[in-house]
Structure 1
Amino acid sequence: MRRMAGLSMAAGFLSLAVTIPAFAADSTGIVVTAAWSRITPIATIPAVVYLTVTDSGAPDQLTAAATPIAQTASLHQSHLVNGLMVMDPVTDLPVSSGHPLMLSPDGYHIMLEGLSHSLTVGETFPLTLTFAHAGPVKVTVTVQPMTYMPPAPIGAPAMSGMKM
């Protein structure tokens, strides 16, 4: 009976570890959560990183990103033009207290080009985000299946970013 109770407790702690989103925080109030990317079948296809940045301090700007698994990492915005999804580079993204910056499939994202290898499900890799005032913040990105869609943020309806 004790063994079963011990196994149950271990399973409970393990499930917490799996369901708590990874995050990075620094002393300036910048917190980065839920950093993820999708698999890439081959290394010549760019990867895209999505995440959420919250700020409890002074306003800031996300100005750059870098990772050892890609030659370049750049900030982009996706938007519809004449019914087609296009991507444009952006120089920085504003981060302000009380207004999370969400990098998502239908908006801002980080484009990784010149990958050192194709990305596989469950793989993790480091990403350094650079903020104008907070400086560098290191995060860990988790690679998800091609069909992965993140859960809706707390308080937002499911599929709130979808345009139907």
Structure 2
Amino acid sequence: MHRFIHRRGALRAGLALGATLLVPSARACEYFADNLRITHPWCRATAPGATSVIVSMKFDEVTRPDRLIGVETMVAEGAELGGRLSRPTVDFEIPEGVETHLGEHGTYLRLTGLKFPLEVARTYPLKLTFEHGGVVGANLNVDYARFF
């Protein structure tokens, strides 16, 4: 049986394959400082009248020790650390070569003085300031609510 290859179709297929190899893959919810990666900053939706919310995120690919020293967002007046390393300021150590988490079940970031309720599936701008990594613009994702 004689197989006929359409040259134009083969060329299109080859170009499409080549283009997919050149384009970097999309990485949802990943943000990069000079020396680390921040993954999925998120919080839960809040009830009307809530004054604070816990923010979780992961830091990894740390090539130089750093500290998260500031957080700004349009949704809150301030931020502080809560949980095990609770303090009224943001000063979170991020060691080199280790995956570190801010989350509900350990040390967490708390946004204080919420200006309005945070709704499920919304995103809000978040500015993270690091001692060595500089300022990183990110999005705060609002996930499901848990009201008790």
TM-score, normalisation: structure 2? 0.72
Q: Which amino acid aligns with 1:71?
A: E
| Equivalent residue letter for 2:66 | D
* Counterpart Cα distance in 2 of 1:29 and 1:70: 27
Q: Within 5 Å, which residues of 2 pair with 1:113-152?
A: 113-147=112-146
Write the distance in 2 (CA, Å) between the matches of 1:65 and 1:51. 13
CA distance in 1, matches of 2:28, 2:102: 15
Contact 2:86 2:107 in 1 (8 A): no
Identity %: 26
1:140 maps to a residue whose letter is N
1:23 is the counterpart of 2:22: no
TM-score by length of 1: 0.66
Which stretches in structure 1 are left out of the alignment for 5+ residues? Answer: 1-15, 80-85, 148-164
Distance 1:44 1:77, change over 3 A: closer
Gaps of 5+ in 2: 1-24
The equivalent of 2:103 in structure 1 is: 104
String of CA shifts for 1:127-157, please: whole Å, max 9, x gaps.
111111111111111101124xxxxxxxxxx
Partner of 1:45: 51
Q: Does residue 77 in structure 1 map to residue 76 in structure 2?
A: no
One-letter amino acid of the counterpart of residue 66, structure 1: E
Query: 2-side partners of 1:116 and 1:45: how far apart?
Result: 8
Q: Please, what is the CA RMSD of the aligned residues?
A: 2.3
Count of paired positions: 122
Quick one: distance in 2 between partners of 1:102 and 1:23? 14
- CA distance in 1: counterparts of 2:61 and 2:134, whole angstroms: 13
Q: 4+ runs of 1 displaced by more than 3 Å?
A: 86-91
Judge conservation of contact 1:55–1:95 (CA < 8 Å) in 2: no
Other-structure match for 2:21: none
